[in-house]
Amino acid sequence: MALNIDDNNAHSIIDSGEPVVIDFWAEWCGPCRTISPIIEQLATEYEGKVTIAKCDVTEATDLCNEFGIISIPTILFFKDGKKVDSLSGGVQRAKIEEKINALL
């Protein structure tokens, strides 16, 4: 299951040393709801290798501002505490998996 991330716990997760994937989403966003089950499946499949988290943009405005989130869904990829890649829009599972595998 994907972790819930917000303004309070984001940096401790990002700086954990483990690769991190954050899905920025909102309940009212159709494409977000489409990729949500994919994010949950990947969180289970990559458990112990990559931390996969979901960030509700309506509850984490500081984090969204910090990372310049202007459209959703946006997925950010972190390695060693640094943002290394991103995807925006309703993307295919294979594309997300490709980016995750690049973190390993």
Active site residues: 29, 32
The one-letter amino acid at 81: G
Alpha helices in 1-88 (DSSP H): 10-14, 30-45, 61-66
Is the Cα dihedral 46, 30, 72, 90 positive or negative? positive
Pair type for strands 51-56 and 20-25: parallel
Rounded Cα distance, 56 and 48, in Å: 23
